[in-house]
A and B are shown apart, each in its own frame.
Chain A
Amino acid sequence: MSNPLIKLENVTFKYPDSEIKENNFAVNNVSLEINKGEFVAILGHNGSGKSTTAKLINMILTAESGKIFVDGKDITDENMTEDDIFEVRKKIGMVFQNPDNQIVATVVEEDVAFGPENLGLDPKEIRKRVDEALELVNMKEYARHAPHKLSGGQKQRIAIAGTIAMKPQCIIFDESTAMLDPMGRKDVMNTIKRLNKVEGIAIVLITHYMNEAVQADKVIVMKNGSVYLEGTPNQVFSQPQKLWNAGLEVPQSIELIDKLNKELGFDIPLKVYALDECTEIIKNKLMKE
Chain B
Amino acid sequence: MSIVELKEINFIYGKKSPYEIKALDNVNLTIEENCITGIIGHTGSGKSTLVQLLNGLIKADSGVVYIDGKDIWEKPKEISRIRFDVGMVMQYPEYQLFADSVKEDIAFGPKNMGLSDEEIEKRILQSIEFCGLEKDILDKSPFDLSGGQKRRVALAGVMAMNPKILVLDEPAAGLDPKGRREILGGIKEYQRKSSNSVVIVSHSMEDMAMYCDRAIVMSHARVVTHGTCEEVFSQHQLLLDVGLDVPEITGIILELRKKGINIPDNIYTVDGAVTAIKSLYLNGSVGGGV
User: Could you tell me which residues of chain B, from 149 to 199, have a CB within 8 Å of some CB in chain A?
Assistant: 173-179
Assembled-state Cα–Cα distance A264/B278 (Å) = 7
Tell me, yes or no, whether B270 is within 8 Å of chain A by CB: yes
Assembled-state Cα–Cα distance A276/B256 (Å) = 9
Given A152-B43, A153-B43, A253-B248: A248 and B277 interface contact (C-beta under 8 Å):
no
- Whether B281 and A247, one on each chain, are in contact in the complex, defined by CB atoms closer than 8 angstroms, is no
Indicate which residue in A97, A248, A253, A288 contacts B174 across the interface (CB closer than 8 Å).
A97
What residues of chain B lie closer than 8 Å to A18, measured between beta carbons?
144
Assembled-state Cα–Cα distance A97/B175 (Å) = 12
B residues neighboring A (CB under 8 Å): 19, 41-44, 144-148, 173-179, 203, 205-206, 243-245, 247-249, 251-252, 255-256, 259-261, 270-271, 273-274, 277-278, 280-281, 284, 286, 290
Indicate which residue in A183, A255, A280 contacts B42 across the interface (CB closer than 8 Å).
A183
User: Could you tell me which residues of chain A, from 35 to 67, have a CB within 8 Å of some CB in chain B?
Assistant: 44-48
Tell me, yes or no, whether A198 is within 8 Å of chain B by CB: no
CB-based nearest A residue for B182: A247
> 1/0 per residue A243-262: CB within 8 Å of B?
00001110111011001100
What residues of chain B lie closer than 8 Å to A275, measured between beta carbons?
251-252, 255
CB-based nearest A residue for B245: A182
Assembled-state Cα–Cα distance A18/B290 (Å) = 63
CB-based nearest A residue for B175: A46
- Whether B145 and A256, one on each chain, are in contact in the complex, defined by CB atoms closer than 8 angstroms, is no
What residues of chain B lie closer than 8 Å to A182, measured between beta carbons?
42, 203, 205, 243-245
Q: Which of A19, A249, A253, A256 gathers the greatest number of chain B CB atoms within 10 Å?
A: A256
What residues of chain B lie closer than 8 Å to A263, measured between beta carbons?
274, 278
**Which of A71-79, A118-126, A173-181 binds B?**
A173-181
Tell me, yes or no, whether A1 is within 8 Å of chain B by CB: no
Assembled-state Cα–Cα distance A262/B2 (Å) = 42
- Whether B252 and A279, one on each chain, are in contact in the complex, defined by CB atoms closer than 8 angstroms, is yes
Given A46-B176, A178-B174, A182-B243: A255 and B270 interface contact (C-beta under 8 Å):
yes
Assembled-state Cα–Cα distance A286/B278 (Å) = 9
**Chain A nearest CB, measured from B142 CB (Å):** 12
> 1/0 per residue A266-282: CB within 8 Å of B?
00000000011011101
Given A20-B145, A248-B178, A286-B286: A180 and B203 interface contact (C-beta under 8 Å):
yes
Given A180-B203, A183-B243, A260-B277: A283 and B270 interface contact (C-beta under 8 Å):
no
What residues of chain A lie closer than 8 Å to B175, measured between beta carbons?
46, 208
Indicate which residue in B178, B270, B284 contacts A247 across the interface (CB closer than 8 Å).
B178
- Whether A44 and B176, one on each chain, are in contact in the complex, defined by CB atoms closer than 8 angstroms, is yes
Given A181-B203, A184-B43, A275-B251: A175 and B174 interface contact (C-beta under 8 Å):
yes
Given A256-B274, A263-B274: A180 and B43 interface contact (C-beta under 8 Å):
yes
User: Could you tell me which residues of chain A, from 160 to 185, have a CB within 8 Å of some CB in chain B?
Assistant: 175, 178-184
A residues neighboring B (CB under 8 Å): 18-20, 44-48, 97, 149, 151-153, 175, 178-184, 208, 210-211, 247-249, 251-253, 255-256, 259-260, 263-264, 275-276, 278-280, 282-283, 285-288
**Chain A nearest CB, measured from B9 CB (Å):** 22
- Whether A20 and B146, one on each chain, are in contact in the complex, defined by CB atoms closer than 8 angstroms, is yes
Q: Which of A151, A252, A264 gathers the greatest number of chain B CB atoms within 10 Å?
A: A252
Assembled-state Cα–Cα distance A140/B54 (Å) = 39
What residues of chain B lie closer than 8 Å to A285, measured between beta carbons?
281
**Chain B nearest CB, measured from A106 CB (Å):** 15
What residues of chain B lie closer than 8 Å to A211, measured between beta carbons?
248
What residues of chain B lie closer than 8 Å to A278, measured between beta carbons?
252
- Whether A252 and B261, one on each chain, are in contact in the complex, defined by CB atoms closer than 8 angstroms, is no
What residues of chain B lie closer than 8 Å to A259, measured between beta carbons?
270-271, 274
- Whether A19 and B42, one on each chain, are in contact in the complex, defined by CB atoms closer than 8 angstroms, is no
- Whether B43 and A248, one on each chain, are in contact in the complex, defined by CB atoms closer than 8 angstroms, is no
- Whether B176 and A151, one on each chain, are in contact in the complex, defined by CB atoms closer than 8 angstroms, is no
**Chain A nearest CB, measured from B181 CB (Å):** 8
Q: Which 4 A-B pairs have the closest CB atoms?
A: A247-B178, A252-B248, A182-B245, A249-B177
Assembled-state Cα–Cα distance A178/B202 (Å) = 12
What residues of chain A lie closer than 8 Å to B271, measured between beta carbons?
259
**Chain B nearest CB, measured from A139 CB (Å):** 16
What residues of chain A lie closer than 8 Å to B41, measured between beta carbons?
181
Besides the known contacts A184-B43, A251-B248, A279-B255, 7 further A-B residue pairs in the complex with CB atoms under 8 A apart = A46-B146, A46-B148, A179-B173, A182-B243, A247-B177, A252-B248, A286-B280
- Whether B176 and A252, one on each chain, are in contact in the complex, defined by CB atoms closer than 8 angstroms, is no
What residues of chain B lie closer than 8 Å to A252, measured between beta carbons?
206, 247-249, 252, 270
What residues of chain A lie closer than 8 Å to B249, measured between beta carbons?
252-253, 256
**Chain A nearest CB, measured from B151 CB (Å):** 10
What residues of chain B lie closer than 8 Å to A288, measured between beta carbons?
284
**Chain A nearest CB, measured from B131 CB (Å):** 15
The 27 listed contacts between A and B (C-beta, < 8 Å) are A20-B144, A20-B145, A20-B146, A44-B176, A45-B178, A46-B148, A46-B179, A178-B173, A181-B43, A181-B203, A181-B244, A247-B176, A248-B178, A256-B252, A259-B270, A260-B274, A264-B278, A275-B251, A275-B255, A279-B252, A283-B256, A283-B259, A286-B261, A286-B280, A286-B286, A287-B286, A288-B284
